[in-house]
Amino acid sequence: MTVRHHPSEALQLDYASGALTEAWSLAVATHLALCPVCRKTVAGIEAVGGALLASLEPSAVSASGFDSVWDRIGREERDTPEIARPAAVSGSAILPSPLRDYVGSDLDGLAWQRLGLGAYQLPIDIGEAGATARLLRIPAGRTVPEHTHRGLELTLVLCGAFSDTTGDYGPGDFQEADDTLKHQPHAAPGEDCVCLAVTDAPLYFSSFAARLVQPLIGI
């Protein structure tokens, strides 16, 4: 696998520093599972961050400070509802971890939802507000309706391929799109294109017909 499109340096820095929320972190972490180049980059960022922390002068804290923090962590854990994750099962099309841990199966075992025109989706339960993660399965050779973005969209190709005005994307490739990009992704022939897509706002479709059905499909 040759990965040609990677997360931006800013996105990798936010991931390494823990600044991303769960949905965005899932997209980056799944890319890292497929891309040794970005794994090396993130490991370097983490090493620099660790060195900076080690160089800081220690500060005195009160004797009760540790107990207070520990009690707060305990309260947050009790107040946070546990998100059930079904056990993973094997299939012929293997998803990388950690994505596989979220959806509970490889591609052949997923309960896909129809979007129409042969396309399917699988919403992923992230358990947080503000961003939506889903798997999209676009039939080989099919074109996605032209659209732009009201916010940010991260797209990671898992199998198959697609192309748009920004280039060609195959397995492991990562696209960041915002409201400056209007595109019409086209799935390559020969194999369905399966992507992980994370958005923080609904897409804006150029076609009135697509906008009409948009509330029904939730994209």
Q: What is the structure's pLDDT at 53?
A: 55
180: phi then psi, degrees, rounded to nearest 5: -85, -10
List pLDDT tens digits, range 24-36: 999 999 999 999 9
d(CA 131, CA 153): 10
Using the predicted structure, report yes or no on whether residue 74 has a pLDDT greater than 70.
Answer: no
Using the predicted structure, report yes or no on whether residue 13 has a pLDDT greater than 90.
Answer: yes
Classify residue 133 by burial, with Cβ atoms within 10 Å: 0-12, 13-18, 19+.
buried
Which helix H or strand E contains 114, and what residues bound it? Answer: strand 113-116
Mean pLDDT over each residue of the chain, to the nearest integer:
82
92 confidence band (pLDDT: 50, 70, 90): very low
Long-range CB contact pairs, 59-68, < 8 A, 24+: none
Structural tokens at position 130: 């503000």
Percent of the chain predicted with pLDDT > 90 = 53
List pLDDT tens digits, range 164-215: 999 999 999 999 999 999 999 999 999 999 999 999 988 777 776 666 666 6
Q: What is the structure's pLDDT at 218?
A: 64
Structural tokens at position 155: 């797209």
Domains defined along the chain, listed by start: 1-219 (2.60.120.10)
List pLDDT tens digits, range 107-135: 888 999 988 778 899 999 988 888 999 99
Task: Of 47-51, 101-105, 117-121, 184-188, give the range with the top mean pLDDT.
Answer: 184-188
105 confidence band (pLDDT: 50, 70, 90): confident
Using DSSP, state whether 201 is helix, strand or coil.
coil
Least confident of 47-51, 89-93, 119-123, 184-188: 89-93
Question: 170 with 198: CB under 8 angstroms?
Answer: no
